[in-house]
Amino acid sequence: MEQQGQFSPIEDWIPESEFLARYPHIAAPTLRWQLTNRRNNGLAPHVQLIGRRRYISLKGYGLWLTLRAQAGHSFGSKIGDHHDV
């Protein structure tokens, strides 16, 4: 819930299924690969497991995308791809 222009931290975390519904331009297999390999690709701080569900920080994912783009990394499905975005 947003109050007086502030974003509640709990609302920053959404389940994978909701993330995919909000951002249909991100392919489900791509996101799942990114989440599965989060310890290798730097996304780990922005993903939490609650029970068997993965939750993604919207702000964290956005920051991760920005940093990867600035570093010239690809968002494809292979570790080590370094193509311009």
Residue spans of beta strands (DSSP E) within the chain? 13-15, 47-50, 53-57
Position 79 scores a pLDDT of 40
Per-residue tens of pLDDT for the chain, all 85 residues: 445 566 678 889 999 999 999 999 999 999 999 999 999 999 999 999 999 999 999 999 999 999 999 988 766 544 444 333 3
Position 72 scores a pLDDT of 85
Position 30 scores a pLDDT of 95
Position 83 scores a pLDDT of 39
User: Exposed, middle or buried: residue 24 (CB in 10 Å: 0-12, 13-18, 19+)?
Assistant: exposed
Bridging pattern class, strands 53-57 and 47-50: antiparallel
Domain boundaries, given as residue ranges, for the chain:
10-71
Separation between Cα atoms, residue 47 and residue 56, nearest integer Å: 5
CA-nearest of 78, 77, 17 to 53 is 17
